[in-house]
Structure 1
Amino acid sequence: MSEPIGPTQQFYTRWARLYDLVAVQTPGIGSIRTAAVDLLDPQPGDTVVEMGCGSGANLSLLRDRVGPEGRVIGVDVSPGVLSVARKRVDRNGWTNVHIVRSDATQPPVDSADVDCLFASLVVAMFDAPAGVVDDWAELVGPGGRLGLMDLARSSHPRARVLNGLFRRFVTYANPRSVRQSTAPLSTLDRRVAAAHKRLHERCSDAQSETRALGFARLSAGTVD
C-alpha cells in the first residue's frame, strides 16, 4: 500500500509536470540556477544533497560539477515531482544521481557522506527556517558547503512595479495553506531572510548575490 500524502504533497503532485515546465523554461531561470550552483562550488568527487529537489531541474548542473566520480542525491517529499525527477535521471542514464522521498528536515543521509547541501525554493515552506538551516549545517559539518536559492519580493527601484505580479505568482503557485495566509508575501520575505541570515551566521566565508532585479536571493558558504 502506498504511503498517504498530505494536502501540500497532493498539490505539488497534481501540478508536477507544469512545475517542471516552469522550472526549466522560464526565461532567465537557467542562469539563476547556474549562478547558485557556481556559488555553492561543489568539487569533483563530492557528494551533494539537494533538499527539495522537485522535478530535478538542478540535477544536471550539480552532476556536471561533481563529475562521474561524485554523487548527487535529490530529496523531496512529494511523489509526483519525484516521479518526474526519476524519469529525468533514467532518460539521461545518470548512474550517480539518486532520488529519495523524504522530508527535508529529516533526510535519510549519513552526515559522514555529505560534502555539500543545496536547497532551492524550499526554506519559505518552513515555520522556523533558521532552525532548518541549522540542521542542514550540522548535517554537512565543519568544512561542508551549504547553499540556498530563493525568491522573495524585491526592493530594487526598477522592480517595484513587478511586485504585484510576483504576488500573484506566490498566491497561485503554492498550496491552499499559503494562498489562505493573511500575509503570504510577508511570510515569504521573512522566512527567506531568516534562512539566509542564519547561513551567514553559520558560515564565516558566506557570500550572497541577488539576480532578476533582486527577486532571486543566492547564498553559499563553508560551515564553521
Structure 2
Amino acid sequence: MIPIAGKYSTFAPFYDVMSGEYPVYRAGREIGIRALNQLPGTQVLDIGCGTGLNFSLLQQQVSPHGIIVGIDRSPEMLVQARRRAARNGWANVILIQADATELSSTDIGSRITAQGGRAQSDAVLATYALSLMKDWETAWANMVSLAAPGASLCVVDMQKPVGLAATLTPLAKAACWLGGSNIEAHPWTAVERDCADVKAAATRGGHLQIRTGTYNTET
C-alpha cells in the first residue's frame, strides 16, 4: 500500500478530477468558508491546502487586498496550487511546504512573514485535512497558535453517513480509505471543545461535518 504522502505526490496532477470534489466534497467547503465570513483585506490560513481547491471561495471574501496562505506537506500538490494561482492571476497567495504536525507554529509563522504575510491570521481552516494526520491534535494546536486574537477557526471533515444515507457508508469508507483519511477521527470535535460561538452544519447525509467558531482563550 502506498503511504499517504506518496499517494498525494503521485496523484497530484489528477487529484481534482479523482477526488469527487463537485459531486460530494465541494459542498462542505462552501458551507465552511461561507461561515468564516471574512472581510476584504483579511488573511486566511489554509492548512493542508492541497491543490488550492479552497482558493476561489476564499478570494471572494478576502479580495485581492487580502492574503491567502496555503500550507501542505506535499510539494507536488503545491505545484498544482501554484499553477492554479498563476492561472487565475492571484498574486495574493503564499504557499509553504510544511507538515503541520511536525513544524512548530513559530517556524511556520516565520516562513509566512518572510513571504510578506502576517504570523497570525484572521481565520484558519482545514478542509478534509486533519483526518489524514495521525497526530491531528498537534496540527489543531498549531492552527490555534497561528490564529490572531478573535480569529475564526473552521474544520470541515468526514464521518460515516447517518439516517437514510447510512446505506452509503461502505462507499464513504472506501473513499476515505483510498484517500488515506480516518473516517473515525472526527477532528471537528476540537472546535466544539475549544471554541466559542460554534456554528455546526452537515451535508451529504451527514458524511460532511462543518464546525466554525472563535478560539476560546479561557480553555
- Bin for the TM-score computed over the shorter chain: 0.7 to 0.9
- Confirm or deny that 1:151 pairs with 2:151: no
Q: Higher mean Cα deviation, 59-68 or 99-108? A: 99-108
- Does the C-alpha gap of structure 1 residues 28 and 7 become closer, same or farther in structure 2, counting only changes over 3 Å? closer
CA contact (8 A) 2:157 2:188 kept: no
Partner Cα distance (1:23, 1:53) in 2? 14
Equivalent in 216, 219, 224 of residue 211 of structure 2 = 219
- Confirm or deny that 1:203 pairs with 2:195: yes
From the two aligned structures, give the one with the greater strand fraction: 2
Partner Cα distance (2:133, 2:21) in 1? 27
Q: Secondary structure at the match of 1:54?
A: coil
CA contact (8 A) 1:206 1:222 kept: yes
- Confirm or deny that 1:119 pairs with 2:126: yes
TM-score, length-scaled by structure 1: 0.83
Root mean square deviation, CA, Å: 2.1
Partner Cα distance (1:25, 1:170) in 2? 13
Equivalent in 50, 69, 76 of residue 73 of structure 1 = 69
Partner Cα distance (1:126, 1:80) in 2? 18
- Does the C-alpha gap of structure 1 residues 7 and 130 become closer, same or farther in structure 2, counting only changes over 3 Å? closer
CA contact (8 A) 1:141 1:223 kept: no
Partner Cα distance (1:132, 1:121) in 2? 13
Partner Cα distance (1:199, 1:89) in 2? 29
TM-score, length-scaled by structure 2: 0.85
- Confirm or deny that 1:16 pairs with 2:8: no
CA contact (8 A) 2:156 2:188 kept: no
Partner Cα distance (2:20, 2:43) in 1? 23
2:109 is matched with 109
List aligned pairs for 1:41-190, cutoff 5 A.
Answer: 41-105=37-101, 106=103, 108-110=108-110, 112-154=119-161, 156-174=162-180, 187-189=182-184
Q: Secondary structure at the match of 1:210?
A: strand
Q: What letter is aligned with 1:62?
A: L
Ranges in structure 1 where 5+ consecutive residues have no aligned partner:
1-5, 179-186
Q: Note the C-alpha offset of 1:206.
A: 1.1
Q: What letter is aligned with 1:39?
A: A
Number of equivalent positions: 204
Q: What letter is aligned with 2:34?
A: D
Q: Note the C-alpha offset of 1:140.
A: 0.6
From the two aligned structures, give the one with the greater helix fraction: 1
Partner Cα distance (2:6, 2:64) in 1? 34
CA contact (8 A) 2:70 2:94 kept: yes
Q: Higher mean Cα deviation, 6-15 or 47-56? A: 6-15
Q: Secondary structure at the match of 2:146?
A: helix
Q: Note the C-alpha offset of 1:23.
A: 4.4
